A and B are shown apart, each in its own frame.
Chain A
């Protein structure tokens, strides 16, 4: 039986622009992954609990509100506090200026995908960078 990669696609922050999150959810599904979609306005606490209970390999965070420097590192911090960060690949996406990317990576985001990134790039990145075996 195939063991699919499980991905939590979440939207932290208050913005309601979920076009990108939905496109990536569909693309990951079509690449054979199991995508758990959480909907809008998720707090970092909610995202981390969902990631734990769903035992996902990847947490993909889409944010367009401009609050990324505040919210994305918080998700990583909480994952660390729960001792699950080592197992989970944390990705960010959305309208995020290039100059913020080094900061976010330093905070523990594995990669940031900005607008215009082909979904295949994200898919390949996930497949090549899982932090635990399927």
Chain B
């Protein structure tokens, strides 16, 4: 990017500058011996053109909307329209969550994001013994199509886009969504939204898995195939680095392991006979935004460039849409402190900037009280307002990729991409992401980073404001949102009523059909949809699949 002679000159002056600084350091030492980013990459004193001498503008950065998409996936980015502001919400019953969704839409939110409770995520009905105490706690409890109908009551599904954080039983919840739309008179090709559907990161970091790897991958590719024909505007997977980062990974590891999982899904779909350009445009990603603003921006840019190269070079994708890494971002839950929770608003604002400067397509901002409990309505509003302030007041959305060309950001972008690529090659050598997970390699790498971070915080090498420095005496926060423990009983009653009212013969037949199909090789989506329409419960459907597929065995390497 720079002329050779000029570069030589800069190199020389830089050496002189470093010499001068070295002398003055005796009198005025720097704060630390070594400076590192939020995830322990070394940071130099100063970045100059010399640090990005090899950068080729056309090849490495290009123009927004064009390969390799370093500067963004759309030509005009936020000058066209802002990112989708999408707050993840859901708790207790479908009735209560429905109220919260309507409130958020009134407040100017532009998309829905459904949080399910743990029993739903693991495929148990609310009346299962393992569901005790868990019903409605971290999200909404959905046992059957009945609950789903209530959840979206009065919300026109052809008008909103809905993201659902659901993985192991993703096909069941998607089927319920399609069935609700049918009842609203909305055809499935009008539906827009995303299911998370990313089982590999469940094995790695999030833990809500059900089935072993092979049948899980089959369910996923069944969805890819089904949606490419019947629900063409649906994002069939959201390949998630978010939880990998929450588990304690570094920024590099977040990119590396997420893209390695992405590679595994693409390979599985190709192996199942799908053409890469039919499903790849519907792949989407989900990343975390932490506090190290510039490292995070570089991370998003590196991920975009690396994925474009992978799709083009490794998988021979032809459509540019297949090469675009589109992503949702959530601010980092693990960065929030239970101490002085108001400080979290500031953290979230920085993280919002990182996501926006990094070119995100949609964003969830965490509420200040999430280190303590589920967010209250007030704190959710502040979180949403944070996005709106960045969008309307900060000015960062007025031009595309404003940090491009920063010596530091470009240098970091390249180093993150290179380090992530090294990991991907290691994972390839282990036999791909699934094998690397089974061997515990990925989990161990994350665990090492997480433990390292913990030790840095405990030794005060790393400062977390309000937690290990600048503490105050404070009273316990009041007015936290609590889920009524009666929710469990309520859901149980609902299931009993459902089972008394529905045509149980029909349910039995549908479940039996599903079982036979699961033993064979046909696409399971239509059969699941059929079972859902007859009001078979989530637990019944997953139960049948558990019988045929078995359950995943955790791989723990500490």
- Interface on chain A toward B: helix, strand, loop, or mixed SS? loop
Cβ-defined contact, A120 with B458, below 8 A: yes
* B122 CB contacts on chain A under 8 angstroms: 14, 41
When A and B form their complex, what is the total count of cross-chain residue pairs whose Cβ atoms lie within 8 Å?
Answer: 105
A23 contacts chain B at the CB level, 8 A cutoff: yes
Cβ-defined contact, B373 with A25, below 8 A: no
Contact with B along A1-21 (1 / 0, CB 8 A): 000000000000111111100
* A66 CB contacts on chain B under 8 angstroms: 134, 137-138, 373-374, 483
B531 contacts chain A at the CB level, 8 A cutoff: no
Complex: A67 Cα to B468 Cα, angstroms: 28
* A62 → chain B closest CB, angstroms: 12
Cβ-defined contact, A98 with B476, below 8 A: yes
Cβ-defined contact, B202 with A16, below 8 A: yes
A39 contacts chain B at the CB level, 8 A cutoff: yes
Cβ-defined contact, A43 with B130, below 8 A: yes
Contact with A along B140-180 (1 / 0, CB 8 A): 00000000000000000000000000000000000000000
Complex: A40 Cα to B553 Cα, angstroms: 10
* A27 CB contacts on chain B under 8 angstroms: 451, 454
* B138 CB contacts on chain A under 8 angstroms: 15, 65-66
B361 contacts chain A at the CB level, 8 A cutoff: no
Complex: A15 Cα to B436 Cα, angstroms: 23
* A39 → chain B closest CB, angstroms: 5
B248 contacts chain A at the CB level, 8 A cutoff: yes
Cβ-defined contact, B134 with A67, below 8 A: yes
* A35 → chain B closest CB, angstroms: 8
Cβ-defined contact, B477 with A98, below 8 A: yes
* A17 CB contacts on chain B under 8 angstroms: 206-207, 246-247
* B450 CB contacts on chain A under 8 angstroms: 19, 22-23
A99 contacts chain B at the CB level, 8 A cutoff: yes
Complex: A89 Cα to B46 Cα, angstroms: 52
Cβ-defined contact, A97 with B480, below 8 A: yes
B208 contacts chain A at the CB level, 8 A cutoff: yes
* B207 CB contacts on chain A under 8 angstroms: 15-18, 40-41
* B250 → chain A closest CB, angstroms: 14
Q: Which of A70, A116, A118 contacts B339 (CB 8 A)?
A: A116
- Please name the residue on chain B nearest to A101 by beta carbon: B476
Interface residues of A in 71-118 (CB under 8 A from B): 71, 95, 97-99, 114-116, 118
Contact with A along B437-454 (1 / 0, CB 8 A): 000000000010011001
* B130 CB contacts on chain A under 8 angstroms: 14, 41, 43
From known contacts A17-B246, A40-B554, infer whether A65 and B338 are also in contact, taking CB-CB under 8 Å.
no
From known contacts A19-B450, A22-B450, A66-B137, infer whether A95 and B371 are also in contact, taking CB-CB under 8 Å.
yes
* B338 CB contacts on chain A under 8 angstroms: 114-116
Cβ-defined contact, A13 with B133, below 8 A: yes
* A2 → chain B closest CB, angstroms: 21
B132 contacts chain A at the CB level, 8 A cutoff: yes
Cβ-defined contact, B118 with A19, below 8 A: no
Complex: A66 Cα to B485 Cα, angstroms: 11
B43 contacts chain A at the CB level, 8 A cutoff: no
Interface residues of B in 325-376 (CB under 8 A from A): 334, 337-339, 371-374
Complex: A65 Cα to B131 Cα, angstroms: 11
From known contacts A13-B118, A97-B373, infer whether A67 and B133 are also in contact, taking CB-CB under 8 Å.
yes
Cβ-defined contact, B137 with A16, below 8 A: no
Q: Which of B129, B451, B554, B556 contacts A23 (CB 8 A)?
A: B451
From known contacts A26-B451, A98-B477, infer whether A65 and B118 are also in contact, taking CB-CB under 8 Å.
yes
Complex: A27 Cα to B119 Cα, angstroms: 31
- Please name the residue on chain A nearest to B372 by beta carbon: A97
Complex: A13 Cα to B209 Cα, angstroms: 14
Contact with A along B394-419 (1 / 0, CB 8 A): 00000000000000000000000000
* A23 → chain B closest CB, angstroms: 5
From known contacts A70-B132, A95-B373, infer whether A39 and B558 are also in contact, taking CB-CB under 8 Å.
no
* A97 CB contacts on chain B under 8 angstroms: 372-373, 476-477, 480
Complex: A99 Cα to B483 Cα, angstroms: 14
Most buried by B among A16, A23, A26: A16
Complex: A66 Cα to B121 Cα, angstroms: 15
* B272 CB contacts on chain A under 8 angstroms: none
Most buried by B among A14, A17, A19, A99: A14
B21 contacts chain A at the CB level, 8 A cutoff: no
- Please name the residue on chain A nearest to B466 by beta carbon: A116
Cβ-defined contact, B458 with A118, below 8 A: yes
Q: Which of A18, A70, A98 contacts B133 (CB 8 A)?
A: A70
Complex: A40 Cα to B205 Cα, angstroms: 11
Complex: A101 Cα to B99 Cα, angstroms: 31
Q: Which of A15, A22, A39, A118 contacts B118 (CB 8 A)?
A: A15
State the A residues within 8 Å of B (CB).
13-19, 22-23, 25-27, 29, 37, 39-41, 43, 65-67, 69-71, 95, 97-99, 114-116, 118-120
Complex A-B: 29 CB contacts under 8 Å: A14-B131, A16-B202, A16-B207, A16-B208, A17-B247, A18-B247, A22-B450, A23-B451, A25-B558, A29-B558, A39-B554, A39-B556, A41-B130, A43-B130, A65-B118, A65-B137, A66-B483, A67-B132, A69-B485, A70-B485, A71-B133, A95-B372, A97-B372, A98-B477, A99-B476, A99-B480, A115-B371, A118-B457, A119-B458
In order of increasing CB-CB distance, the 10 nearest A-B pairs are A16-B207, A70-B133, A98-B476, A67-B133, A66-B137, A14-B118, A118-B458, A67-B134, A116-B467, A19-B247
- Known A19-B247, A98-B477; further 17 A-B contacts with Cβ < 8 A: A13-B133, A14-B134, A17-B206, A23-B454, A41-B122, A65-B138, A66-B138, A66-B374, A66-B483, A67-B137, A95-B373, A97-B477, A97-B480, A99-B478, A99-B480, A118-B458, A120-B458
